[in-house]
Structure 1
Amino acid sequence: MRPSLRTTSLSFAVSALAVGLLTGLPPSLAEPATPSADRAARGLEVRTVARRLEHPWDVQQAPGGRLVVSERDRARISVVRNGKRRTLADLSRSVWVSGETGLLSLAVDTDRRWLYACHGSTKGGTHVRVTRWRVDRKWRSLSGRRTMIAGLPATSGRHGGCRLLLERQGPALVVGTGDAAVGTNPRDLDSLGGKVLRLNRRTGAPMPDNPFAGATGNRRYVLTYGHRNVQGLAQRDDGTLWSVEHGSFRDDEVNLLVPGGDYGWNPVPGYDESVPMTDQSLPGEQQEAAWSSGDPTIATSGAAWVSGTRWGRLDGTLAVAALKASEVLFLRFDAAGRLESVATPRELTGLGRLRSVTSARNGDLLVTTDNGARDRVLRVSPR
């Protein structure tokens, strides 16, 4: 049986989560009538702000108009300013690169000039870890390397997705992980794979209001479990946390995260990908997706909430990048987390595989392409 949810103690899950617990969690897209796609959204301007990249996995804004970009296979962190790129750190000697694993997500704490990165590692055995550095005032060098959490499972590098998010209120660092293509990982509370984790960004300790904080072992870090391969994390203005993950051959998912929630991926025995992404035949309660792609998947990835009246009808939507579909979906959810509409603006099609979506300070969106060569960072703004 799944432990009871501890919803009141978590600062990020207040109003919308309470409504969700009273009315039932958001249904999947298959249950209600499918909302119509809105391709008549307000026009967008798409500008290239960085070129000649290779598999850029993430982009984050740093002080002074700088952008910080990670490249998965090169294991390189770059700073881009006024269209010019320079290398902040070459981590190729310390980052394990294999398949889907390498130098992955970034997070920037501007108050302390801390830079976090999620990456593959062979130190102490092959795994994925989260590392933090201090950046100098001119954003030219890193120092004070510290491991925040290690031991995220890895095998061949498959399903090594690792997304970072700094909560806006409080000291929490949220980490979304992949299941390493090991069937038992997602629902094993003492495995860090197939989870959303929550730890103190200063110390690396589990957050004391996590749902299993009173236990021992790795489960103290666990916020939610039963995930396949978390690719995106985003925090809504109401404080709720949302994840995006890859499906198998069906059902990419966007999930409203409920503390202690089981999201139902259990591909056992072996690694049986014919099972449902959210398997309601499992013991206990499984949380249905707020949105799912159905069959086939479109390979959803990074996500960010869109904010600002200048965005028109896209204001308040969740922008989700899609690799296989080569588009950005703008998903509108009501206060309880129920899907209302889906928009796919034509300006964000035809650009190839799109990996990451993050927010600039002025409300623009930053998007990375992931085509393997001549990749770019794009800046998207409403006209």
Structure 2
Amino acid sequence: MRLHLAASSTPALAGLTGLLAVGLLSVPVGAVPAAGPTAGRDGAVGWGAAAVADQVADRSAPRLKVRRLVGRLDIPWDVQPVAAGTFLLTERDRRRLSVVQQGERRTVRFPRSAVWSSGETGLMSLAVSPDFATSRRFYACHGGFAGNGHDVRVTSWRLSPDGARARGGTVLLRGIPASSGRHGGCRLLLDRRTGALLVGTGDAAVGTNPRDLGSLGGKVLRLDPGTGAPWPSNPFVGSADARTRYVLTYGHRNVQGLAQRSDGSLWSVEQGSDRDDEVNLLVPGGDYGWNPVPGYNEAVPMTDPSLPGEQVSARWRSGRPTLATSGAAWVQGKQWGALEGTLAVAALKASRLLFLRFDESGVHQRVRAPRRLRSFGRLRSVTSLPSGRLLVTTSNGGGADEVLEIRPR
């Protein structure tokens, strides 16, 4: 058996004593404050919630301004721009699709009765076609009804010119497993280089799903957004099993975020069990090592080196305790200063936004967690706008959630 090693730098951090833990906090890889990092056998270093909270002041990054774009929401799962100042928005449990324009929300007529909602599953991720201005096409991932049971599926829609109604509802991919609704999260991303549609899926809390190439659960899938067919260069596209042809990577627990870096590389964010949320660099055909069997044994490592073959190790991991990492987007624009080029990752349980720095080869270097972004509760999705500003959704429930716009001052 072999474990693919993720390189890690370990520069020392001097002068911790006497620095005030205020403002924008930062820790280089290998620094050891009171609650230090956990290092896996592959050398990747992560920071648990306590360690992130104890980072030292860093004044090299800009102060941040936060504006509420829209409020009075309930578990907004995703928000995506369709035009300047206009956004599509999903709410998971309400199964509600909305258009937000200039801070005003309008409900879109959408067959919400066809969306199955339970636990962590409902109306979830969105992706907007690059030619939306003419095609009006967008994609959604949501729970669905399948015979006497349920599944998670990817559908294609067209928004009416007045934004009042979604038409179509063509199912591009069905059969992503669903059990109680646990680990049913589904994240979409359109590859801007190839046009392929990526789908990050959860394992539905079924231990055999992640490494079963005949299951669509615990995977990153890749398909043609026009036809729903498996992407022709997928690593298992020649398989006799139709479902296996969709698989790009496998061995995942619960993929919550997908993001594409400026160099074209594809990255996923995934929630750990009691340890090790992960950020992964996606390698076609890669096994990411989650295999919670027999039963659903969450005591096993997120990347298990005892498995046969080669496992791809995480580029960053949280250690203990987990932060419940969720959506992610790469930060663009010189106005972000020291945060330009970082991966912004939302955290639900830890109620913060992490800015992770990776070098050009994908080695993790630094994590920042601005105090300014720690007062909004659970954070779920991160969207990067063409202007470089970020949209972040809160996930606190009770009709008190918001979409926040974040920019440097």
> Partners of 2:351 and 2:44 in 1: how far apart?
26
> Could you say what secondary structure the match of 1:121 adopts?
strand
Cα 1:148–1:116 change in 2 (3 A) is same
Which of 143, 146, 150 is residue 123 of structure 1 equivalent to?
A: 146
> Partners of 1:142 and 1:115 in 2: how far apart?
9
Cα 1:283–1:94 change in 2 (3 A) is same
1:262 alignment partner in structure 2: 287
Aligned CA-pair RMSD: 1.8
1:113 alignment partner in structure 2: 136
1:199 alignment partner in structure 2: 223
Unpaired runs of 5+ residues, structure 1, are 3-20
> Partners of 1:32 and 1:257 in 2: how far apart?
16
> Partners of 2:342 and 2:38 in 1: how far apart?
16
Q: Which amino acid aligns with 1:355?
A: R
Which of 154, 165, 169 is residue 145 of structure 1 equivalent to?
A: 169
Q: Which amino acid aligns with 2:72?
A: R
> Partners of 1:263 and 1:158 in 2: how far apart?
20
Is the 2:393–2:404 Cα contact (8 Å) retained in structure 1?
Answer: yes
User: Between Structure 1 and Structure 2, how many residues are aligned?
Assistant: 363
> Could you say what secondary structure the match of 1:126 adopts?
strand
- Where in structure 2 are the equivalents of 1:129-168 lying within 5 Å? 129-168=153-192
Is the 1:56–1:368 Cα contact (8 Å) retained in structure 2?
Answer: yes
1:184 alignment partner in structure 2: 208
> Partners of 2:145 and 2:331 in 1: how far apart?
37
> Partners of 2:172 and 2:405 in 1: how far apart?
31
> Partners of 1:342 and 1:234 in 2: how far apart?
17
> Could you say what secondary structure the match of 2:120 adopts?
coil
> Partners of 1:237 and 1:75 in 2: how far apart?
33
**1:90 Cα deviation from its structure 2 partner:** 4.1
> Partners of 1:363 and 1:271 in 2: how far apart?
41
Is the 2:44–2:317 Cα contact (8 Å) retained in structure 1?
Answer: no
Pair 1:61 & 2:81 matched: yes
Is the 1:26–1:336 Cα contact (8 Å) retained in structure 2?
Answer: no
> Could you say what secondary structure the match of 1:208 adopts?
coil
Q: Which amino acid aligns with 2:173?
A: I
1:376 alignment partner in structure 2: 402
Is the 1:26–1:288 Cα contact (8 Å) retained in structure 2?
Answer: no
> Partners of 1:87 and 1:233 in 2: how far apart?
26
* Deviation sequence 1:65-86 (CA, Å, 0-9, x none): 2011100000001111111100
**1:33 Cα deviation from its structure 2 partner:** 6.7
**1:170 Cα deviation from its structure 2 partner:** 2.0
**1:113 Cα deviation from its structure 2 partner:** 1.7
**1:140 Cα deviation from its structure 2 partner:** 2.0
**1:143 Cα deviation from its structure 2 partner:** 1.3
> Could you say what secondary structure the match of 1:93 adopts?
helix
Is the 1:323–1:355 Cα contact (8 Å) retained in structure 2?
Answer: yes
Which of 68, 71, 81 is residue 48 of structure 1 equivalent to?
A: 68
1:6 alignment partner in structure 2: none
2:232 alignment partner in structure 1: 208
**1:381 Cα deviation from its structure 2 partner:** 0.4
Identity %: 62
Cα 1:94–1:256 change in 2 (3 A) is same
> Partners of 2:103 and 2:45 in 1: how far apart?
45
**1:214 Cα deviation from its structure 2 partner:** 1.3
2:17 alignment partner in structure 1: none
1:15 alignment partner in structure 2: none
1:345 alignment partner in structure 2: 370
> Partners of 2:109 and 2:219 in 1: how far apart?
29
> Partners of 1:293 and 1:25 in 2: how far apart?
15
Is the 2:6–2:44 Cα contact (8 Å) retained in structure 1?
Answer: no
Unpaired runs of 5+ residues, structure 2, are 9-36
Q: Which amino acid aligns with 1:62?
A: V
More deviation, 58-67/314-323: 58-67
Q: Which amino acid aligns with 1:52?
A: R
2:357 alignment partner in structure 1: 332
